[in-house]
Structure 1
Amino acid sequence: MSNHPFTSPEQWEKLKTGIVQLAKQEILTRFEKITAEVKQDGSLLTEADIEMQKKTKAFLFENWPEFSFLGEESNQEEQIKALQSNNGCWVLDPVDGTSNFASGIPVFTVSLALVVQGCVVMGLVYDPSRDEMFAARKGMGSELNAKQFKAQTPKQTLKQCIGLIDFKRLPEELAIKIIKDNPYASQRSIGSVALDWCWVAYGRGQLYCHGAQNIWDYAAGYLILNEAGGMSCTLDGKDVYVNIVEKRSAVAATTPELFKQWQNYLTKN
């Protein structure tokens, strides 16, 4: 396991408690009270995004100054430089699901990961609306509100499953295929990549497919799914996590058996 402070129970609790407090203070207090502006890439930005990133960065540097910081709202040059740090790098999405947040839909999270030597060693995803903290440390399993869990579901075939599918970012041909075939029992798109990963890990949805997500969207959830025993890869069968700032596709499932069926379906002509 990589050397980092969060193998210590005291440091682990300090981190989780700090993020919960900041999310309640900087995000929940602004919910349904503010408007959003449109960023250059077409995504939304709110005061909650800006303040949560600023306050979280200060909290992390105050307590763990050895790590660099990559936030969604940082500029790309800063993001790339931070990820190249030899000591380790925080990866933060201050509000994952900003469109939901700005629309008054209570499905959004804070996603925070720690990357050391190109490997995600810690991840937490906090859902303030439900007061749920999904978290994982490499080699130490996954937890929901401090209770360990394993990725499991009684569902054994695709036709029994709920699929969490983001059609907008999929290749057109694949999106049409899925819509036409309807290979699952039901489909959702909840609007938060970090929660997608956590809910599949927990079995709330059993299948997942997304065409293009950023490192701050998926890093924490990726570790949480892996540590719970779920499986994932890109649409072309590679590891989802890469230690660079680029958009990645993701295919995932709660169990190895469902993952094999899901991957076979998606890659079959």
Structure 2
Amino acid sequence: MTEFSPLDAEIRDLLRFAAERSMMPRFRMLAEDEIEMKGEGDPVTVVDREIEEFLSEALTKLAPDVAVVGEEAVAADPTVLDKLSEACWIIDPLDGTANFTKGKEPFGIIVALADAGIAVAGWLYDPIKDRLCHARKGDGAYVNGERITAQTTGQTPPVAGISTLFLNAEQRAEMDEKITPHYTLVDIPRCAAEQYPRLALGENDISVFKRTLAWDHAAGVLWLNEAGGRAARIDGSEYRVDEHDRTGMIGASHPDLWEAFAKRLEGRLD
């Protein structure tokens, strides 16, 4: 039997409505003037802005005393990042924008609730599958209201979804030397709303993230850890949403796989 808490049901309905109103009607239908570039390889669309505006207003009505940190709001005013140390909602209105602009899957919407720099609840919504991955700190991880436990792929060698997109030449060489021979490497989805579920639902065992922005990772880190996998900084420290200048994180379907990968990355294994 599936059950949603009142808050989970409220967030699910908001995300589903936003996707049905703004996202799905424009999938593979975006006009050129509905896409802009914030930077190299970093597009933003009318969908991103429309959904963030809607969710910011809706979440503020839901909890008037809680700040809102949205990806596009930060792009317009970086001082919004200062709110990450407060009680705040964190919004990625269209995770996987690059995929969406090319008419490709996956993409989704991510919302997290954080307090004092730590995520306490998170929701990752896939509108194509109508799948909601959700978690509250200390209360387990769920998919569409059903509690789940993280599963490994069971494969030898383990399956690693690793991108070199944001690595420099030295980091790529280190990855090729220490990691590539010991894992089955697969493409990443370029969408955190999909990558974290892959780590808990038996599709991938390992992922490495260089950029660790709060709107991409706050909800997924919490959900994976609550499922019994592990997501943490490369040095083993806890992920905090307010450490927005810090890079590097490992996600794994099981703590033992996390530890083995971290040791290999540091060169402590033969």
Report the counterpart of residue 82 of structure 2 in structure 1.
Answer: 81
Q: Output the aligned Cα RMSD.
A: 2.0
Distance, in Å, in 2 between the alignment partners of 1:20 and 1:236 is 37
Distance, in Å, in 2 between the alignment partners of 1:204 and 1:76 is 37
Is 1:166 aligned to residue 190 of structure 2? no
Q: Tell whether the 8 Å contact from 1:207 to 1:254 is kept in structure 2 after alignment.
A: yes
Q: Which runs of 5+ in 1 are unaligned?
A: 1-7
Quick check: 139-148 or 40-49, which moved more?
Answer: 40-49
- Picking from 12, 16, 19, the partner of 2:12 is 16
CA deviation digits over 1:104-136, x for unaligned, max 9?
112111110000122211000001122111110
Shift in CA distance, 172/193, structure 1 to aligned 2, threshold 3 Å: farther
Give the partner amino acid of 2:69. L
Give the partner amino acid of 1:28. M
Residue-pair matches, total: 258
Report the counterpart of residue 259 of structure 2 in structure 1.
Answer: 260
Q: Which runs of 5+ in 2 are unaligned?
A: none
- Tell me the CA shift for residue 20 of structure 1: 1.5
- Tell me the CA shift for residue 154 of structure 1: 5.4
Distance, in Å, in 2 between the alignment partners of 1:193 and 1:123 is 13
- Tell me the CA shift for residue 176 of structure 1: 2.6
Shift in CA distance, 164/127, structure 1 to aligned 2, threshold 3 Å: same
- Tell me the CA shift for residue 197 of structure 1: 2.0
Give the partner amino acid of 2:91. L
CA deviation digits over 1:142-168, x for unaligned, max 9?
0111111011225265x1x22111211
Distance, in Å, in 2 between the alignment partners of 1:172 and 1:238 is 26
Distance, in Å, in 1 between the alignment partners of 2:171 and 2:125 is 31
Runs of 4 or more, structure 1, over 6 Å off, are: none
- Tell me the CA shift for residue 256 of structure 1: 1.6
Q: Tell whether the 8 Å contact from 2:119 to 2:241 is kept in structure 1 after alignment.
A: no
Quick check: 44-53 or 175-184, which moved more?
Answer: 175-184
Distance, in Å, in 2 between the alignment partners of 1:236 and 1:267 is 10
What is the percent sequence identity of the aligned residues?
28
Question: Could you say what secondary structure the match of 2:204 adopts?
Answer: coil
Q: Tell whether the 8 Å contact from 2:84 to 2:116 is kept in structure 1 after alignment.
A: no
Alignment of 1:200-239 (within 5 A): 200-239=199-238
Distance, in Å, in 2 between the alignment partners of 1:190 and 1:10 is 31
CA deviation digits over 1:17-62, x for unaligned, max 9?
1111112211111111114211146510111101010111111112
Question: Could you say what secondary structure the match of 1:134 adopts?
Answer: strand
Q: Tell whether the 8 Å contact from 2:162 to 2:185 is kept in structure 1 after alignment.
A: no
Give the partner amino acid of 1:14. E
Alignment of 1:29-108 (within 5 A): 29-34=25-30, 35=32, 36-40=35-39, 42-74=41-73, 75-85=76-86, 88-108=87-107
Q: Tell whether the 8 Å contact from 1:61 to 1:67 is kept in structure 2 after alignment.
A: yes
Q: Tell whether the 8 Å contact from 1:156 to 1:258 is kept in structure 2 after alignment.
A: no
Quick check: 15-24 or 95-104, which moved more?
Answer: 15-24
Distance, in Å, in 1 between the alignment partners of 2:40 and 2:61 is 32
Q: With structure 2 as the length reference, what TM-score do the two structures score?
A: 0.88
Give the partner amino acid of 1:115. A
Shift in CA distance, 186/81, structure 1 to aligned 2, threshold 3 Å: closer
Shift in CA distance, 81/211, structure 1 to aligned 2, threshold 3 Å: closer
Quick check: 183-192 or 232-241, which moved more?
Answer: 232-241
Q: Tell whether the 8 Å contact from 2:110 to 2:124 is kept in structure 1 after alignment.
A: yes
